[in-house]
């Protein structure tokens, strides 16, 4: 089955760290760009960052709000995507979704179910 | 950054109605626009990409149009399962951004 399964969300104090995971199955992981999108409680969608595919050397892009604090990586042997989140702020509280990005237009055609990160003291 | 402004932010309609949601970009993005549907507590679902191409498996009552800075999502005859929040997204440059959302509720 083609799917993404998000995990790793938790309650963490401001200034703390957390690593999110996205387990993939049913498709060739190395062929695809992968993205993270978040949604604060009751708010809209915010793109967080992207890792390109193997052909594009897994290079990354980030939103300004998380650049230098969050790092996206992937483990091809485990078909998994990760996001290391450091120096967390209360405004990082959100549901985090991984998404697969496909085609010339890089549309987000497959999404995980989301994992909740709460940053609070 | 490219800003996307959706209108209206809230829409009340009845089953069988035809509804249109507009998304305006702060600068031209060609047709690098997608539309998503999100139901409460669920991940977003891709409806339309490249401004007007229907994603596989999406009912034909959904359609998209536009290019440049103005885009529309139309639902030709609302069904009960269509009541949700809709977001546009540009994929033209970084950062990728989303519109603020349009919440579609039953009248």
pLDDT mean across residues, chain A? 97
DSSP bridge pairs for A39: A45, A95
Query: Does A63 sit within 8 Å of B46, measured CB to CB?
Result: no
**Cβ contact, residue pair B96, A107, below 8 Å:** no
Q: What is the pLDDT of residue A52?
A: 96
Query: pLDDT tier at A23 (50, 70, 90 boundaries)?
Result: very high
Residues B69/B86, Cβ–Cβ less than 8 Å: no
CB B43: neighbour CB atoms within 10 A?
21
- Average per-residue pLDDT for chain B: 97
Whether residue B101 and residue A35 make contact (CB cut-off 8 A), yes or no, is: no
| Residue B24: per-residue pLDDT | 98
Residue A104 pLDDT grade (very low, low, confident, very high; cuts 50, 70, 90):
confident
- Interface residues on B facing A, Cβ-Cβ cutoff 8 A: 31-32, 34, 36, 38, 43-46, 49-50, 55, 87, 89, 91, 94-101
Q: Which residues contact A38 (CB under 8 A, 6 or more apart)?
A: A45, A46, A48, A92, A94, A95, A96, A97, A117
Tell if the CB–CB gap between B46 and A107 is shorter than 8 Å.
yes
Can you give the pLDDT at residue B78? 97
Question: Mind listing the pLDDT tens digit of every residue in chain B (107 residues)?
Answer: 999 999 999 999 999 999 999 999 999 999 999 999 999 999 999 999 999 999 999 999 999 999 999 999 999 999 999 999 999 999 989 999 999 999 999 88
- A107 closest CB neighbour out of B49, B87, B101: B49
Average confidence (pLDDT) over A69-82: 97
Give B54-85 pLDDT, tens digit per residue. Answer: 999 999 999 999 999 999 999 999 999 999 99
């Amino acid at each position: 089955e083609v799917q993404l399964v998000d995990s790793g969300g938790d309650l963490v104090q401001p200034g703390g760290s957390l690593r999110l995971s996205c387990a993939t199955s049913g498709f060739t992981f190395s062929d695809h760009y992968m993205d993270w999108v978040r949604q604060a409680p009751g708010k809209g969608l915010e793109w967080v960052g992207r890792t390109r595919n193997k052909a594009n050397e897994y290079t990354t892009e980030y939103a300004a709000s998380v650049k230098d604090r969050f790092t996206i990586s992937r483990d091809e042997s485990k078909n998994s995507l990760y996001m290391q989140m450091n120096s967390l702020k209360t405004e990082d509280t959100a549901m985090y979704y991984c998404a697969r990005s496909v085609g010339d237009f890089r549309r987000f055609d497959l999404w995980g179910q989301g994992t909740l990160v709460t940053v609070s003291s | 950054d490219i800003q996307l402004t959706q209108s209206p932010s809230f829409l009340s309609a009845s089953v069988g109605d035809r509804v249109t949601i507009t998304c305006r970009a702060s600068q031209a993005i060609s047709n690098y626009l997608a539309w998503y549907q999100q139901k409460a507590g669920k991940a977003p679902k891709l409806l339309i990409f490249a401004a007007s191409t229907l994603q596989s498996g999406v009912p034909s009552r959904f359609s998209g149009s536009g290019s440049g800075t103005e885009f529309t999502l139309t639902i030709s005859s609302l069904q009960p399962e269509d009541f949700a929040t809709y977001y546009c997204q540009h994929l033209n440059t970084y950062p990728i951004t989303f519109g603020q959302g349009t919440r579609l509720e039953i009248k």
